[in-house]
């Protein structure tokens, strides 16, 4: 089996898939297919707050319709200054243009992702987003789904609740959202389940 990669991110999403079929409106105009994107902003430690991102997100919501985008949720790691935004759009450029007009804060990276199995948040544990980087062409959504099943079989032992995950098959990046008592609990879940350790685990706060 191919190498796997698992990344945890904090949130349950609506029924979005990585790609929706093109639709024809009542006017007879065919709309472009919609894809799911996770974009990442690196501001630097101590340079962004949840309040700052909430304000920018409202500007995105006010602008998104112009570019056919839909900003779904976002996660903020105040300690490292990283922000992760989940959106649907026809192209990554539509996501970038929305940010550019709304507030001028352009993402450092935009990943086209496929979404995995979701679960509900429960309890009061903090949210963590972990990232695994396997490399281009070295992971697919089916491989990650199998690894995720192994995580689910182990997670209770460490007090973890895996909520969702996203896979960019092109770059070999996987993002997973989870609740956990601490970052070590999440790492230990992955380690025992399949041995795939994330390159980064961030405590995040979620907005929408």
Q: Are 174 and 132 contacting, i.e. CB atoms less than 8 angstroms apart?
A: yes
Tell which of 113, 145, 178 closes a domain. Answer: 113
The more confident residue out of 16 and 122 is 122
Tell which of 81, 113, 145 closes a domain. Answer: 113
Closest-CA residue to 77 (of 44, 110, 55): 44
The rounded distance, in Å, linking the Cα atoms of 65 and 87 is 12
Phi and psi angles of residue 36, each rounded to the nearest 5 degrees, phi first? -105, 130
Q: What is the DSSP letter of 24?
A: B
Domain region containing 64 = 32-113
Task: List, for residues 191-201, the tens digit of each pLDDT value.
Answer: 999 999 999 99
Q: How many domains, the chain?
A: 2
Note the pTM of the prediction, 2 decimals: 0.84
Least confident window among 24-33, 86-95, 157-166: 24-33
Task: List, for residues 52-81, the tens digit of each pLDDT value.
Answer: 999 999 999 999 999 999 999 999 999 999
């Amino acid at each position: 089996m191919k190498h796997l990669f698992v990344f945890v991110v904090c949130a349950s999403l609506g029924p979005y898939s990585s790609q929706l079929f093109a639709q024809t409106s009542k006017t007879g105009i065919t709309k472009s297919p919609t894809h799911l994107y996770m974009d990442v902003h690196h501001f630097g430690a101590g340079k962004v707050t949840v309040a700052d991102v909430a304000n920018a997100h409202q500007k995105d919501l006010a602008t998104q319709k112009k570019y056919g985008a839909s900003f779904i949720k976002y996660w903020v790691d105040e300690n490292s200054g990283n922000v992760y935004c989940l959106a649907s759009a026809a192209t990554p450029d539509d996501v970038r243009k929305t940010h550019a007009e709304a507030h001028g804060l352009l993402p450092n990276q935009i990943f086209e992702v496929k979404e995995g199995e979701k679960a509900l948040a429960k309890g009061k544990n903090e949210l963590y987003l972990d990232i695994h980087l396997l490399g281009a062409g070295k992971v697919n959504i089916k491989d990650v789904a199998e690894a995720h099943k192994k995580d689910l079989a182990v997670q209770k032992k460490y007090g973890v609740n895996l909520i969702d995950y996203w896979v960019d098959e092109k770059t070999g990046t996987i993002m997973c959202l989870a609740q956990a008592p601490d970052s070590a609990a999440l790492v230990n879940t992955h380690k025992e389940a399949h041995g795939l350790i994330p390159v980064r685990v961030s405590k995040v706060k979620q907005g929408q």
